[in-house]
Amino acid sequence: MVMVSTKMSKFSSSLSFFLLLLTILSFSTPKSNAISSIDSLQSECLTVPASEFVGSLRDTIDTIQKVTSVVSNVGNFLGNFRLTNAINDCLDLLDFSADVLDWSLSASKPNTKGKDNSTGDLGSDLKTWISAALANQETCIDGFEGTNSNVKTLVAGSLGQITSLVQDLLTMVHTPPKPNSIGRAKTEHKFPSWFKYQDQKLLQVKGNITADAIVAKDGTGNYTKIEDAIAAAPDNSLRRFVIYVKRGVYKEYVEIKKNKWNVVMIGDGMDVTVITGNRSVIDNYTTFRSATFAVSGRGFIARDITFENTAGPQKHQAVALRSDSDLSVFYRCAIKGYQDTLYTHTMRQFYRECRIFGTVDFIFGDATAVFQNCQILAKTGLPNQKNTITAHGRKDPNEPTGFSFQFCNFTGDSDLLPFKNSTETYLGRPWKLYSRTVILQSYMSDVIRPRGWLEWNETFALDTLYYGEFGNYGPGSGPGRRVNWPGYHAFNDSAQASNYTVTQAERQQKFRKRVAIAVVSSLVLLLLVAAGVFAIVYNNKSNHSSEKAAPQAQAQKQPPTKEISHVEKVIKAVCNGTSYKDICHSTLEKAATKNPSLAQPKEILKSIIAATDDEVENAFSKASAFKFDKPEEKAAFEDCKKLIDDANEELKSSLAHADGDIKKLNTKAPDLKNWLSAVMSYQQTCIDGFPEGKMKSDMQQAFNATKKLTSNSLAMVTEFSSVLSSFLEGTTRHLLEDESSTPSIAVDGLPKWMSNEDRRVLKGADTEKPTPNVTVAKDGSGNFPTISAALAAMPAKYTGRYVIYVKQGVYDETVTVDKKKENVTMYGDGSQKTIVTGSKNFVDGVRTFQTATFVALGEGFLAKAMGFRNTAGPEKHQAVAVRVQADRSIFLNCRFEGYQDTLYVQTHRQFYRSCVISGTVDFIFGDAAAIFQNCLIIVRKPLENQKNIVTAQGRIDKFESTGIVLQNCKIQPDDALVPAKTTIKSYLGRPWKEYSRTIIMESTIDDLIHPDGFLPWEGDFALKTLYYAEFNNKGLGAKTTARVKWPGYKVIDKQEALKYTVGTFLQGDWISATGSPVKVGLFT
């Protein structure tokens, strides 16, 4: 309860801020700005302008048509039955993808009804249809498993274009909002809201029914074959076409194609009307084509029928029923088979009172499917084979798909029960990276193993899947014994569980209708705008609609006094949240004279960032006029030139991101805060490079205004996004979309998907050698003898990953991966075999910034199995082994060796996994947002009378998004320190800058660490403003009872610790997307 009230308090505070703006502004809605219902619907559904979305849809459809031609030509040269099946699948799937995107195109245009495909919930419709198009490409490729690899490669290359475009389309559609859930999870048994009342009556009617066609094996109907009856159904019909299938076993392969809409098929009972077949993968059919019964036409309904595949377990994949039918319902049906029995391929599907039988992955696919009151019956499979009930195939985090089971019965069929102890049966396993399955209020017999769920392949998808359970019972419900995966959730709150019920979907639909209706009311619209969307609009014209218009020339001369007055009030409200209010007021008031529309938050943000950019150039111009007499001052100013260039570049990136729809700020905020934090760091690094004295003070003064403006820019991004985030947190979760205890990763914050080769580099063992672009070898066996030469040869423009393999050897060189060299992957033969070494240091007259042996500046840098050293020794003081400025950089299985200032995590987002870092004083320091996971931190022996300090984080401003996090690491002494560890004091960190932030959690801390834990920098500097925290550490040095009593030191709880996990602190999907091993949440 405390946690909830805290969250509400934050929300109320943020909401009050914008309601204040609403109060002090006089709003009106001019007729020229009236929003039509279709415009408001598009505005709510899309993250981009409708014209951009429509253009992207057209481009994607055009690409599909081109790829279809390529795939069709491939098929003309094949005589292989298996390959021909795979090609035919692809052609059908491509055709269906073009159709569903055409539905999306039609639904997105004004004054259309989406060819009557829409449910009235356009956001959900678009997400569903586009997700289906994504799944179709994946199914096409899957069909080539075990066939000619050249053909698969050719087809996959063509389909890759479509996949990328479709994934982009998914990011352009908002996730549907969810109103607050209240009360317990609903226990009534309901159909989906899109399932019309007259259709429900059709399912529940007893006795004779009026059919459009009757199928009977004995000739007493219109047809003897189901296929013939389906052929008689009209194309694209909006009316129900009812087919009554009399009792009998129908040995035929039935396909209801995409143009056969609203077909209803009713049998005499699931035990007596049976459609059966025996196609299988072993018999050279694709899984997709093996289905006995396949339906693609939208709105399909089935009642009282059995769909069966009798191929048996020895034939492996053999589908009984495959459905791509959007808004389809299966009622009182049996679906029988072994492996891959029910293929819920795509779209929205509902199963009620059905029986589903199988062994391996027998409910699988990438649909949004709800199973209610169903019996799930595991069977006996092949010897030593494990049973897995579900294998959901969600590929992309933006897909709305998943499985939900409610009020179901999970048990074994009669053939399994005698062998239930020897046959392992699990609820599911992750077929694709973002697999999602939730089981609610269901009975589980002892057939289900206590751990519940099974891995697909080692750790694949365990961080990214979403498996949830709530209110289940029975001996197989395994309370307290389930898997301990990051993606597994045991719901404690019925409100959480209700998000995955049919009732919740219905609530969402009603909520969206209410929002659409509310658009008509300007008052409600304005309240929504003020509370959550920040589109604070002022238009003074309508207030004077009854007044006589003044002459144009006079209007131009007279300032709009009322508008300026309102703008002034907005400026005052906005600046109250900043640290430097005076410069905030003066900057925005000056901007307001040039831009009367400054009352809009987007314009405010743009103005403050633009002013910062201008001031950086102004400050540098002032500094350039200074007379630098000493060599060290001249050298420091040369560093400043580079740093200020970087600052200008990142301010322009920030400005470009601020110039967009303010409603997207919540997704853009991590990038904006990342770049603006880097700008703050660049300025400070410039100043820090000067020796103490007058020149350093002059430089500090020159950049004083810049520092304040950067801080204010960060404050505004933080405040605006915080309000939007709080509002969305209460209103925008939707069916099967609540994935973890950490926030969803913003689409705009994700990197491009990396190649399979690059994923293999990161996931594989050190011995794996992917094909590099170039090889570096000291013995001359590679393309280059030095790493620098290899980097210099990299093309100026290169698409994708540029891979450099550095063979075993000690490379005594200073290496810089400059900013233009993005997406470089560098891997060696091992962190103690491939070593880059140097010895630059502060005592020899080199500034700390320039002492680094290896410097990574280019975004997306990846290093694996490399060693980096600075051998200057402790007596040479600051001597950096590696300096990292590269955003979204990853170091895996690397080693950093030095003494003072070993690893300079200078700026941006950085991730270190399974690395070794050794040193003495401040040997992990800088102002990046850096997480170290599963790393070994080795504290070495320092100079006499010197203390050891592991971290020195350099956060300058309280609004920066930076900090150092050590998670699941081990902090231990070097062998040389062990004998002296009781006399040499060692600490976890000290505050280099005023808002220093360091979190150490779930780590093992040896007894070398002093009981105080942390050390002051000087006097009481930063002790009130720093943020040092510990959570769930262990070891002799982990006791917190004797820790420092500073105001800024905290022992935090789990909820607070979650803020500093990879998913939240680094917006870490860019890490998991590379295939790098990563824990997105907490380990405990």
In the DSSP assignment, the letter for residue 1052 is -
Q: Which two tokens stand for residue 514?
A: 């209410």
Predicted pLDDT of residue 130: 93
587-614: burial string, b at 16+ Cβ within 10 Å, e else: bbbebbeebbebbbbbbbbbbbbbbbbe
Of residues 303, 344, 537, 315, the one with CA closest to residue 428: 344
Q: How many residues does the chain have?
A: 1084
Predicted pLDDT of residue 495: 56
Predicted pLDDT of residue 668: 79
Determine the Cα–Cα distance for residues 151 and 156; give it in Å rounded to an integer.
Answer: 8
DSSP code per residue over 556-605 = HHS--HHHHHHHHHHHHHHHTTSS-HHHHHHHHHHHHHH-GGGGSHHHHH
Predicted pLDDT of residue 204: 59
E-assigned strand segments in 839-881: 854-856, 862-864, 867-870
Determine the Cα–Cα distance for residues 67 and 522; give it in Å rounded to an integer.
Answer: 47
* 922 catalytically annotated: yes
Predicted pLDDT of residue 206: 56
* One-letter-per-residue 3-state SS of 98-133: HHHHHHHHHHHCCCCCHHHCCCCCHHHHHHHHHHHH
Predicted pLDDT of residue 396: 93
Q: Tell the residue number behind the tokens 């301010």, with chain if given.
A: 651
Laid out side by side, the sheet with 425-428 consists of: 254-256, 293-295, 321-323, 342-344, 360-365, 387-392, 425-428
Q: Tell the residue number behind the tokens 């705009």, with chain if given.
A: 748
Mean pLDDT by 10 residues, the chain (1084 residues): 35 37 34 40 74 91 90 67 87 92 82 56 88 91 78 82 91 64 39 61 62 95 96 94 96 96 94 97 94 96 97 97 95 97 96 97 97 96 95 94 95 92 96 96 94 95 95 86 93 62 46 32 28 32 36 38 59 86 90 71 84 90 89 90 90 79 70 89 92 91 93 87 54 33 30 37 48 92 96 90 95 96 94 97 94 96 97 96 96 97 97 97 97 97 95 95 97 96 96 97 96 96 97 96 96 93 82 75 86
All domains in the chain, ordered by first residue: 50-112+119-172 (1.20.140.40), 211-328 (2.160.20.10), 359-500 (2.160.20.10), 568-588+597-724 (1.20.140.40), 769-1074 (2.160.20.10)
Of residues 825, 821, 823, the one with CA closest to residue 796: 821
Cβ burial, residue 561 (10 Å; 0-12/13-18/19+): exposed
Q: Find the DSSP H helices in 259-407.
A: none
The model's pTM is 0.53
How many other C-beta atoms lie within 10 A of the C-beta of residue 641? 13
Determine the Cα–Cα distance for residues 806 and 772; give it in Å rounded to an integer.
Answer: 10
The crossing angle, in degrees rounded to 10, of helices 704-731 and 561-575 is 90
Backbone torsion region of residue 411, taken as left when φ is above 0, otherwise alpha when ψ lies between -120 and 50, otherwise beta? beta
**CA 542 distance to own-chain centroid:** 43
Please name every residue paired with 301 in a beta bridge, in sequence order, or none if there are none: 264, 329
SS3 of the chain: helix, strand, coil, percent, to 5: 35, 20, 45
Determine the Cα–Cα distance for residues 207 and 71; give it in Å rounded to an integer.
Answer: 50
Of residues 158, 268, 160, the one with CA closest to residue 206: 268
CA dihedral angle for residue 310, residue 311, residue 312, residue 314, rounded to 10 degrees: 180
Predicted pLDDT of residue 200: 63
Listed in sequence order, the residues at least 6 apart from 807 whose beta carbon sits closer than 8 Å to its beta carbon are 775, 776, 777, 778, 779, 781, 782, 828, 829, 834
Determine the Cα–Cα distance for residues 817 and 918; give it in Å rounded to an integer.
Answer: 23
Q: Find the DSSP H helices in 415-493.
A: none
Catalytic one of 89, 199, 304, 361: 361
* 748 catalytically annotated: no
How many other C-beta atoms lie within 10 A of the C-beta of residue 558? 9
DSSP code per residue over 20-82 = HHHHHS-----GGGPPPHHHHHHHHHBSS-HHHHHHHHHHHHHHHHHHHHHHHHHHTT---HH
Determine the Cα–Cα distance for residues 85 and 200; give it in Å rounded to an integer.
Answer: 37
Predicted pLDDT of residue 721: 75
Catalytic one of 121, 326, 922, 1006: 922
Q: Which two tokens stand for residue 3?
A: 């946690």
